[in-house]
Amino acid sequence: MMPEADGDTPGLAQAARALRAGSLSSLELTRHCLARIAELDPGLNAFVTLTEERALAAARQADEELRAGHRRGPLHGIPLGLKDVIDLAGVPTSGQSSQLHGHVPMRNAAAVDRLEQAGAVLMGKLTTHEFAFGPPRWGPPGPPARNPWHAAHFAGGSSSGAAVAVASGMLLGALGSDSAGSVRSPAALCGVAGFKPTRARIDLRGSLPLAPSLDCLGPLARSVEDCALLYRALAQPGEDFWRADELPWGEIRGLKIGVVRSFLDERSGTSAPTRTAIGDAIATFEALGCEVRDVSLPAPWEWNAAGMVILLGEAFAYHEHWLRSRPQHYGAGLRDALLLGATLSAADYCRAQEHRQALSSNLDALLEDVDLLLCPIQASAAPPLDQLTTWGFLEKPSYGIAFNLSDNPALSVCCGFGPQGLPLALQLVGRRNDEITPLRAGHAYEQACEWHRRRPPL
């Protein structure tokens, strides 16, 4: 079997089955991805560093092991990428910043060790925003990633390269980081699935911090099933774990879903197409037998208030030394954003943490009555790159940061397409440490709608 008959890249689960059956080799699949990268990446800028030789060597090793019957699991022989804030031994971690010029880590990040132990073929480092926070940047060390559905549009951030590479079939999956929606938002804008688990589930050691009390790592892939396979390999084993090849799917009839109206109504800033698409998704969940009802949470801007004060305070603490000693090595956009953290007082930070506790308690109480929350992850489809504003993170509501604050697992799933053919998405939020319920519901939704099977016009 060659990747798809139409030249499309197979999904991760599909490729894993073909590799297991011996109808596809890892080397064929890796070469296919390298050809996609050569063809598409000059226009999409998903890669910062391509590790071609390393990937081909890993693919050959995977094939040898698979032929010998030593299968390590569903990621064995699968081409994946890493956001360039996550260390891969011997390969530069740039953080998309001149500050880290020449920085080559000696050791893998803990999560990368898990991927390598699972037999993954690591293809390289993927475009991000500077230190996973700055605005898209046109100067060195690299240009911003472009949305494969419309190259003039934003790919989301900050795991932009990861979402672009997966959506365009350059990779079958990727690992990103998420402190305020940075896995889920680019996944949403590029029409793929993105999952932020409970923070402690994926080991953060060896990834660049942005805001340590909010930071998480999470997978992006074309489908929820593929995301679940990645998550299973990345996560610290837990009592609720499923066997690597047997995903915990099944009936979602009777699942209680709370629709967060304060995140969805017109006052929250969502566009009409987003509200329509999510309305249709709600009807789908009802048709699948779920009990759907409205629930109430404080408005997104209130979460943003606590979240941005915490994020800016923690990011400033991390960068303070370089802001004093070598500020010229930051892009202007990130440097200004980090300087905002210097204007916060200890009292501001404490009050934000206190408000975080109150908001999280409110959310915990809701999740005693329902199994899952449903809300948007983006206000609308991807805007044109030239319409982005420098201070959008302060001016516009964030639908993602709430669940970094509360540390609940949250999944972004494509739920339709807007007027310009750009993807729209919804977010499913589970109880803390219950990663299975949002994944199971997201998978059932995808099987009912199949939005995830659409491909960008490349």
Partner 1 sequence: MVPDDDTQTADERWLCAVLQRQGLEVEPARLAELARAQALLARYTEFLRQASPVSVRHLGQPHDA
Q: Which stretches of the chain bind partner 1, using CB under 8 A? A: 302, 304-306, 308-309, 312, 320, 323-324, 327, 332, 336-337, 339-340, 342-344, 347-348, 351-352, 354-355, 390-391, 394-395
Residue placing its CB nearer to partner 1 in the complex, 269 or 273:
269
SS (H, E, C) the chain: CCCCCCCCCCCHHHHHHHHHHCCCCHHHHHHHHHHHHHHHHHHHCCEEEECHHHHHHHHHHHHHHHHCCCCCCCCCCCEEEEECCECECCECCCCCCHHHCCCCCCCCCHHHHHHHHCCCEEEEEECCCHHHCCCCCCCCCCCCCCCCCCCCECCCCCCHHHHHHHHCCCCCEEEEEECCCCCHHHHHHHCCEEEECCHHHCCCCCECCCCCCCCEEEEEECCHHHHHHHHHHHCCCCCCCCCCCCCCCCCCCCCEEEEEHHHHCHHHCCCHHHHHHHHHHHHHHHHCCCEEEEECCCCHHHHHHHHHHHHHHHHHHHHHHHHHHCHHHCCHHHHHHHHHHCCCCHHHHHHHHHHHHHHHHHHHHHHHHCCEEEEECCCCCCCEHHHCCCCHHHHCCCCCHHHHHCCCCEEEEEEEECCCCCEEEEEEECCCCCCHHHHHHHHHHHHHHCHHHCCCCC
Which residue of the set 25, 26, 83, 360 is catalytic? Answer: 83
Residue placing its CB nearer to partner 1 in the complex, 239 or 386:
386
Residue placing its CB nearer to partner 1 in the complex, 152 or 350:
350
Residue placing its CB nearer to partner 1 in the complex, 23 or 389:
389
Long-range contacts: 315-319, Cβ < 8 Å, 24+? Answer: 315/131, 315/133, 315/210, 315/211, 315/341, 316/340, 316/341, 316/342, 316/344, 317/341, 318/209, 318/210, 318/212, 319/131
Shortest spacing between CB 379 and partner 1, in angstroms: 17
Backbone angles phi, psi at 374, to 5 degrees: -125, 130
Shortest spacing between CB 1 and partner 1, in angstroms: 53
Report the distance separating Cα 147 and Cα 205, nearest Å: 30
Nearest to 122 by CA among 84, 73, 159: 84
Residue placing its CB nearer to partner 1 in the complex, 319 or 431:
319
Residue placing its CB nearer to partner 1 in the complex, 263 or 451:
263
The β-bridge partners of 80 are: 122, 173
Residue placing its CB nearer to partner 1 in the complex, 246 or 343:
343
Residue 226 in contact with residue 172, Cβ under 8 Å?
yes
Shortest spacing between CB 391 and partner 1, in angstroms: 5
Instruction: Find tokens 């304060």 and name the residue.
Output: 262
Shortest spacing between CB 305 and partner 1, in angstroms: 4
Shortest spacing between CB 211 and partner 1, in angstroms: 15
Residue placing its CB nearer to partner 1 in the complex, 263 or 285:
263
Which residue of the set 182, 268, 360, 412 is catalytic? Answer: 182
Shortest spacing between CB 359 and partner 1, in angstroms: 10
Shortest spacing between CB 327 and partner 1, in angstroms: 7
Q: Is 158 a catalytic residue?
A: yes
Which residue of the set 25, 26, 158, 207 is catalytic? Answer: 158
Q: Is 83 a catalytic residue?
A: yes
Shortest spacing between CB 268 and partner 1, in angstroms: 17
Residue placing its CB nearer to partner 1 in the complex, 103 or 329:
329
Shortest spacing between CB 384 and partner 1, in angstroms: 21
Catalytic residues, which ones?
Answer: 83, 158, 182
